[in-house]
Amino acid sequence: MDAVAALSEIAFWLERSRAATFKVQAFRKAAAAIGPLEPAELAARARTGRLKSMKGIGDRTHQVIQEALAGGVPEYLADLRDKGAQPLVSGGHELRQALRGDLHSHSDWSDGGSPIDLMVAAAGILGREYLALTDHSPNLTIANGLSAERLTEQLEVVAAINTGGPDGSAGKKVPPRLLAGIEVDILEDGSLDQAPELLDRLDIVVASVHSKLRADGKTMTRRMLGGIRDPHTNVLGHCTGRLVEGSRGTRPPSDFDAKEVFAACAEYGVAVEINSRPERQDPPDALIQLALDAGCLFSIDSDAHAPGQLDFLQYGAERAASNGVPAERIITTWPLAELLAWAAPAA
């Protein structure tokens, strides 16, 4: 087995199982360390003992590489594959099968942990037809948000991946289709944190609130309505901003008039995101019901920051199914052409 592929797949399964970041990074770093080596050079280093002295190679990763070079599937990988064959959740499987894509993901251009091409490759392995790359906007400096110049550069990378070339796959189109997108901050005045002419060039715009989450209800409602009414906005991201578990601790939901916000989403054709990250579970079930009653569309998204997290859609599908959200009202079940036609700004 290819040693780099083995290390990368191990990292994928660890990310999917929500393993500690340091453990995942050990395998990502080892893959990066040996990736530039020609097969003969890698084999020679393994044979002479020089492999283990390389920076980024530890005891476990060294063992995986040796077993891969010997021609078999490394034992550690085989064990992870067996565990990964089990679903992450007990319900929502039919709805999960209906999902075609994912409209919220991050790369190492902002606060994600992996290059764009690895995210696309993982989405392909999971059977996705499309994946939106939605790195953060400039205001979120803590997440290395993209300036207008960096977003413009990223658009060129997205085009190259979709058509082949320097960042593509030797002249062949790479499935799934990578959609140009952004997770844009809704600023305090309700405006979106990126130049309108750049937002015009994107396939998908996810608009989210990331700051001043403890503002009073009237202030937050007014802010959210401003973002929803912007004609560029397609999806309202993790609307309450809550955290229910995880390394960042917990955070209560923001205070806003949910009926007014969801009525605006229905009026302006903005989908309410069902954010699949286990630490978010956003919106809460009661708000999903309010959004249903308001006639909203929904988008089940992973909000993945690493390849293995793309499979978190299972969590969102389970919550949507348990709340009775019809598949036809979930835009990520739609074929790509239908989705893009819906998301395109009105002429």
Residue linked to tokens 């990066």: 32
Provide the whole-model pTM: 0.94
In order along its 347 residues, the chain shows pLDDT tens digits of 999 999 999 999 999 999 999 999 999 999 999 999 999 999 999 999 999 999 999 999 999 999 999 999 999 999 999 999 999 999 999 999 999 999 999 999 999 999 999 999 999 999 999 999 999 999 999 999 999 999 999 999 999 999 874 444 444 444 799 999 999 999 999 999 999 999 999 999 999 999 999 999 999 999 999 999 999 999 999 999 999 998 889 999 999 999 999 999 999 999 999 999 999 999 999 999 999 999 999 999 999 999 999 999 999 999 999 999 999 999 999 999 999 999 997 75
Residues 55 and 76 occupy one common structural domain? yes
> 109 and 234: one domain?
yes
Sign for the CA dihedral angle at 308, 242, 257, 184 comes to negative
Last residue in a domain, options 84, 109, 135: 84
75 and 217 both lie in a single domain: no
In this structure, are 256 and 130 located in the same domain?
A: yes
Same structural domain for residues 72 and 184? no
- According to DSSP H, which parts of the chain are helical? 3-16, 21-34, 39-48, 59-69, 75-84, 93-98, 116-125, 148-163, 196-199, 217-229, 258-268, 285-293, 313-322, 336-343
- Helix, strand, coil share (%) of the chain residues, nearest 5: 45, 10, 40
Q: Give the CA distances from residue 165 to residues 16, 157, 173, in Å, rounded to whole numbers and listed in that order.
A: 30, 10, 9
- pLDDT, residue 77, reads 98
- CATH code at 266? 3.20.20.140
Residues β-bridged to residue 105: 304
Q: Let me know: does 71 contact 43? Beta carbons within 8 Å.
A: no
Answer yes or no: do 37 and 63 share one domain.
Answer: yes
Note whether 43 and 124 are same-domain residues. Answer: no
Asked whether residue 63 falls in the same domain as residue 31, the answer is: yes
* End residue of a domain, out of 84, 106, 133: 84
Q: Where does a domain end: 61, 84, 107?
A: 84
Q: Say whether both 28 and 103 belong to one domain.
A: no
Q: Are residues 188 and 43 in the same domain?
A: no
Tell me: do 78 and 133 sit in the same domain: no
Same domain, 113 and 31: no
Non-local (6+) Cβ contacts of 261 within 8 A are 221, 224, 225, 228, 236, 239
pLDDT number for residue 166:
43
Count of structural domains within the chain: 2
At residue 347, the pLDDT reads 59
Structural domain boundaries, residue 303: 93-343
